[in-house]
Amino acid sequence: MTRIFAAMITFEMIGICFVLAPAWVWLDKGMEYPALMGLLALHIAFKGAGRYSIDKAIGREI
């Protein structure tokens, strides 16, 4: 279920980025960190959890 949760986190981070859109500066509580976390979650959603994940251990990856 890693990909499903990673996709959900990606959509959550997109929503947070839209809320923080006027503050696109490094030192003013900007949205760089939510954007980075969203991109990382998107990568995990496409790539999967990897060979050391519980999904791979049980032999069923969704």
Chain Cα centroid distance, residue 12:
8
Q: Where are the domains of the chain?
A: 2-58
In the predicted model, what is the mean pLDDT of residues 10-32?
78
Rounded Cα–Cα distance for residues 5 and 32 (Å): 21
Rounded Cα–Cα distance for residues 17 and 27 (Å): 16
Question: Does pLDDT of 48 surpass 90?
Answer: no
Question: Does pLDDT of 20 surpass 80?
Answer: no
Looking at the chain, the whole-number percentage of residues with pLDDT higher than 70 is 85
Instruction: Indicate the pTM of the whole model.
Output: 0.75
Question: Does pLDDT of 9 surpass 90?
Answer: yes
* 49 within 8 A of 43, measured Cβ to Cβ: no
Rounded Cα–Cα distance for residues 18 and 45 (Å): 21
